[in-house]
Chain A
């Protein structure tokens, strides 16, 4: 199983809502990533979890709150977002955190903030 799953596929939320994105992998990977991608642009790294611990936060605003409950699951909690936060949010995983090569990406969650 080389699949990373993400739910929901689409999400529309108001600026006062609280929502969560979910990512799951069962490949035994010990590094998991959140990326933000605007249309026709490359993915931008947001957070990295290594062995269920947050190892990289790319100065992401606190309205985005990541969580890694176990080695297979990664969440991104959203609160008080702005319209400019509308984007595709990609989750990825890789086997070894120290060598983040061969990342497997999920299909993403298309987020629209109204």
Chain B
């Protein structure tokens, strides 16, 4: 059982369309992050959300943290081919001190066709 389930797993859309990616869990988190990984590169941090209900915008990307801090969504408006990549949500798992670690969701692979 995965701690963070993302949906959809794969998404192929045309340029200009809108889309939403979801990250769900049964656990409560103090904060949540979204990363994007382009082909041939490592993941790059997009945003960190920390407050239940929080909404953050990054150009055409809108991130929301659920009120109960168990889930999050990423909405992309007017998708462009440059948005193509693997989108990953991630949360901090507290093991204590130097054993704290980041755990990634199952991932959503997005392909935007020109």
Contact = CB atoms under 8 A, between A and B. Distances in A.
B7 interface: no
Interface in B76-109: 86, 88, 92, 95, 97-107, 109
Interface string A78-89: 000000000000
Interface in B31-53: 31, 33, 40-45, 48
Chain A interface helix/strand/loop/mixed: loop
Interface residues of A, number: 27
A42 B100 contact: no
Given A42-B107, A100-B102, A106 B88 contact: no
Interface in A22-38: 31
Contacts of A55: 98-99
Nearest to B31: A101
A41 B107 contact: yes
Contacts of B105: 42
Contacts of B48: 101-102
A111 interface: no
B44 A105 contact: yes
22 contacts: A4-B42, A40-B107, A41-B107, A42-B86, A42-B107, A45-B103, A50-B98, A53-B98, A56-B95, A56-B101, A98-B98, A99-B92, A99-B100, A100-B92, A100-B100, A100-B101, A101-B33, A101-B92, A101-B102, A102-B48, A103-B43, A108-B42
